[in-house]
């Protein structure tokens, strides 16, 4: 052991700075969590009271041709693109990705991480299904649906599960990266996919905009809760200190 490192006069200051940083980050994440929960509750209350109808109709029709609401904006090939994007929040793609990552974690002997991921996905899906059954909001009827839908509208299951899966995976991967830039890249990529899935649901006419906002809020809150559980139940090993330079 390098005794010089133990007697380094700057060590207490560095530790205090690290504790301050972790405390500030925890408070920021807690603030985001409460904001997401508040947004979901507010949207649910406003939706049940009918206060969101004008907003929903105006924004949904903004994605349509003013001359023909049955015609989505953009060229014909854009509808195929939107269906491809919306599949990133569907059961097939998310199920495949989840099983692939679970297998990787299992072979890496990271059983706790695999269990947490499975808990996140199953719990998020249960919450989505229960919420749909409770609110039982009809799907939009202003425009033709661009893809098949069978369940209730609020909250958007594709938007919520995209947030749950992609944000949780990104958070788990970011925890293991030493590079801050790479952490930001992973989270930004997951956010971009989540936003794209939600927008595709409105563009295809299968969800009201507030369905998507509620799905994003619920999914982000669930992903943050799972991220906090990972810190407690699956802590990462302490980083190996770099060897001292030869003298």
Please list the active-site residues.
158, 207
Q: Distance between CA 125 and CA 119 in Å, rounded?
A: 10
Residue ranges with strand state E in the chain: none
Cis check for the bond before 125: say yes or no (omega within 30 of 0): no
Scored b (16 or more CB within 10 A) or e, 80-110 reads: eebeebbbbbbeebbeeebeebbeebeeeeb
Instruction: Calculate helix-pair angle for 77-86, 180-203, nearest 10 degrees.
Output: 120
Tell which residue, 177, 180, 158, 178, has the closest CA to residue 169.
177
DSSP per residue over 114-183, as a string?
HHHHHHHHHHHHHHHHHHHHHH-PPPP-SS--SS---S--SS-HHHHHHIIIIIHHHHHHHHT-S-HHHH
């Amino acid at each position: 052991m390098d005794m010089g490192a133990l007697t380094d006069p700057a060590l207490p200051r560095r530790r205090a700075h690290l504790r301050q940083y972790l405390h500030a980050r925890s408070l920021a994440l807690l603030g985001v969590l409460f904001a997401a929960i508040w947004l979901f509750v507010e949207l649910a209350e406003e939706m049940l009271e009918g206060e969101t109808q004008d907003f929903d109709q105006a924004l949904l029709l903004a994605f349509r041709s003013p001359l023909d609401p049955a015609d989505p904006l953009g060229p014909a090939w854009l509808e195929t693109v939107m269906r491809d994007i919306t599949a990133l929040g569907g059961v097939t793609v998310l199920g495949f990705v989840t099983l692939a990552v679970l297998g990787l974690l299992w072979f890496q002997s990271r059983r706790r991480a695999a269990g947490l991921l499975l808990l996140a996905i199953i719990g998020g899906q249960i919450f989505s299904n229960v919420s749909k059954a409770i609110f039982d909001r009809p799907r939009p009827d202003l425009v033709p649906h661009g893809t098949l839908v069978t369940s209730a509208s609020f909250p958007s299951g594709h938007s919520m599960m995209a947030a749950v899966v992609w944000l949780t995976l990104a958070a788990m991967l970011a925890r293991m990266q030493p590079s801050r830039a790479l952490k930001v890249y992973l989270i930004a990529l997951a956010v971009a996919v989540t936003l794209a899935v939600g927008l595709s649901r409105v563009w295809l006419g299968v969800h009201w905009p507030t369905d998507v906002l509620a799905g994003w809020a619920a999914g982000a809150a669930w992903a943050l809760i799972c991220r906090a559980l990972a810190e407690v139940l699956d802590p990462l090993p302490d980083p190996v200190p770099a060897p001292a330079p030869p003298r």
